[in-house]
Amino acid sequence: MASRPSPRSSPPGSDQVPAPHGSGLLRRLPWLDRALLVILGRPRRRLGWLLPLVLLLVVCFADWNTSGDFRVLSWLVVVPVMAAALCPVGTTALFAVAAVAAYAVIDQAWDHQYRAGLPDFILVSMGGLLAIAAAWLRRRGERRSLSVRNVADTTRATVIRPLPPSWGGLLHAHIYLPADAEARLGGDFYDIQPSPWGTRALLGDVQGKGLGAVAVAANLLGTFREAGFHQPDLRVVGERMEVRMERNRLYEQAMGYKDGDRFATAVLLDFPPPGSAGGYVDVINFGHDPPFAVSARGVRLLDACSGRLPLGLNELAPASERAAAPHRIRLEGDETLLLTTDGVTEARDRAGAFFPLAEALEAAVAEDPQLAESPYRLVRAVRDRMLRHVYGRLQDDTTIFAVRMAPPAPGEVQPLVSLARWTEISSTATALPGRQGSAEPPG
């Protein structure tokens, strides 16, 4: 049986790209982050006891080797305090006991006139007790924080489903960087949906943050997955998503939510079925940053498909421009489409300059012409250059998504899943009792 891939070593073409832990300096220096994880913090606290132990030995050695006029033994109170910040409760208690014992032994070894005496002994003892209580409170807070973090991760994994490599005949990779490393939730969303008429891909960004934005993203993804499979016309898929956004707005206004007028930008892609001649992609852009086509020959911006208003604002457009008409773009077999949310293009450095995504892509391709062959390497290159530009400080949630047609295997002429099989799946899924005349439920 093949072993499951480690999340730290995802293969090229896979869905998840590991991101650096932490924020700020740690995102720019992954080696420092790994060192701190080993020495100080979760998930490995194996060496967290070293610093309190070194401090204990240094204080004892210094007090033993100085004169009676300069006593530092009372500094032992810092030992359990440091342990409380780095170690579990049991280890903190051991250091508290060790500090009290070391104080008693070393202080008694001095002549009577040089002893620190009972007041400092009480200080070290009370410091140890308070350190134990602090360690217990810290561990309880960490457990609560971990529980909240697991809930956030589960919520996001439920909305943004994992995708298998080469799903629907596409190679893809993504990376998501939340502006708030603790919240880990935002309105960025993406998905790939194979269908009998081609493979559809989606990247979008809901206005706002928090659970409200996640709920809107979940609604849009659900509509995309159903309409993207059942509808042969990409125009209808876009219109269904527009209707879903309007229904969500009416619901939030009826509930009295403050953010009842949310909108979402999105890019909707339609690739030809696996095994077909290909050479193109149909694009509908709902007010989102246009995608880039990246290859060894260079980078080109697909800005011809821009111009529509975001989802939820279609009523503001003239009646003649409300139809979600797709634009067909020529796409070479060696080109990879790169899509990003505005967290990339609006990322600023300390001087306020925006991240030059186009220039960064051209520089990356110039350094490594084969970069576009792997979506995995492409999104990592964009991530690293963007984080260097902003010195690891993100102002907005950021998603980088790369997708390309999978090269056919030698001698392969049939699609990965035949059209007949898709038709069979579609007819079986929709032929429900009492609904034989409807391909999908109304509304």
Lowest mean pLDDT among 164-178, 237-251, 383-397, 417-431: 417-431
CB 359 within 8 A of CB 367: no
Q: Are residues 141 and 271 in the same domain?
A: no
Q: Does any domain span residue 287?
A: yes
SS3 label, residue 332: coil
pLDDT at 113: 63
Q: Where are the beta strands (DSSP E) in 207-354?
A: 264-271, 280-286, 292-295, 298-301, 327-330, 336-340
User: Is the model's pLDDT at 438 over the cut of 70?
Assistant: no
Q: Are residues 115 and 215 in the same domain?
A: no
Q: Does any domain span residue 439?
A: no
Q: Does any domain span residue 34?
A: yes
Q: Where are the beta strands (DSSP E) in 178-258?
A: 188-195, 198-206
pLDDT at 407: 78
Q: Are residues 262 and 331 in the same domain?
A: yes
CB 382 within 8 A of CB 340: yes
Range of the domain at 146: 26-151
Q: Are residues 235 and 295 in the same domain?
A: yes
Lowest mean pLDDT among 61-70, 302-311, 415-424: 415-424
Model confidence at 3, pLDDT cuts 50, 70, 90, reads: very low
76 vs 408: CA distance, rounded Å? 68
Q: Are residues 85 and 124 in the same domain?
A: yes
Q: What percent of the chain has pLDDT over 70?
A: 77
Q: Are residues 140 and 182 in the same domain?
A: no
Q: Does any domain span residue 308?
A: yes
User: Angle, nearest 10°, between helix axes 357-367 and 375-389?
Assistant: 120
Overall domain count for the chain: 2
pLDDT at 248: 87
CATH number at residue 248: 3.60.40.10
Q: Are residues 356 and 305 in the same domain?
A: yes
Q: Are residues 230 and 109 in the same domain?
A: no
Q: Are residues 348 and 229 in the same domain?
A: yes
Lowest mean pLDDT among 12-26, 185-199, 329-343: 12-26
Q: Are residues 209 and 329 in the same domain?
A: yes
Q: Are residues 136 and 55 in the same domain?
A: yes
User: Is the model's pLDDT at 68 over the cut of 60?
Assistant: yes
Cα separation of the two ends of the chain: 45
Q: Does any domain span residue 17?
A: no
pLDDT at 15: 47
Please name which of 176, 162, 168, 246 lies closest in space to residue 204, comparing C-alpha atoms.
176
